[in-house]
Every structure is written in structure tokens, then in C-alpha cells.
Amino acid sequence: MKSHMRYCILPLVFAASWGHAASPDPSLLGCWRAAKIVLTTQDGSKAEDTTGRCTLRFTEDQLESTCRTSSGTATTTYRYEVVRSQVYAATMASSTFRTEMVGSTREYTYTVQGDQLRTVTAPAAAPIEAPRVETEALRAPCP
């Protein structure tokens, strides 16, 4: 009887662990041009960018953010996974300008409506102070 129970429970354990594995949200995949980015620092000051100079590229497990600046191009790469409905966790893997944040993870809530993506995050926990980031982006062709 114990042998029979083991054969019944084993598939359930595999199914349960497989069911918890995050899978990419197909609505995120592809490229997005940021139409509006609002950074709110911990002291409440805000900076807004509506230049459209930043793009996001979501693949199955990687997110790349690229922004053209007056001094060149800034690129940050993240490993990400959808952790709950409409929430992804992004861990910074590399950056050409915020190297002190490499390895940090932040959660973003997101909504995709047609060709529009909106993401929002709260400030990161200490010791790294990071601003709240709100992004409104439009689907764009990938380069």
C-alpha cells in the first residue's frame, strides 16, 4: 500500500512544483518605447522624461533597457520573471551606469492594454536608495 501511495503522490509533487514555475507573459514580450517615465525620489522630488529616448525589450527571461543620452547610450540588463498576476521581479544583471545596483531585485506591477504598457515600482529597500519608477510605453518594432 505504501508503494502505491508513493506512485500516486510523486506525480502530484512534480505537478505542483511545475505549476509554480513562472512563465513569461506573452503580452510583455517584444519591444516598447517609453513615452513617459516619472522618477520620484524618497524626498518626494520628481523628474519626468517624455523624450521617447528609452526602449525596453522583453524576451522570455531577460529585460533590456536602453536609453540614448547626450553622452552616449546607457544599457541595463535584467533577469526577470512573472511572480504573480501582473507583477514581475527584475534582478539587475548588468548596467553601463548604475553598477552599484547590479544584483538588486525590484518588483514591478504592470498592465498591458493593447499596445500600451504601464509599469510601477516602489523604492527599493535599504541600503540602496532607488526612486519609484512609473513608465508608460508604446509597443515598438524591435531593432
pLDDT in tens, 13-69: 323 333 344 578 999 999 999 999 999 888 889 999 999 999 999 999 999 999 998
Question: What is the C-alpha separation between 46 and 135, in angstroms, rounded?
Answer: 13
Cβ-based neighbour number of residue 114 at 10 Å: 8
Domain boundaries, the chain: 24-140
CATH topology assigned to domain 24-140: Lipocalin (2.40.128)
Give the predicted TM-score (pTM) of the model: 0.78
Q: Which amino acid is at 124?
A: A
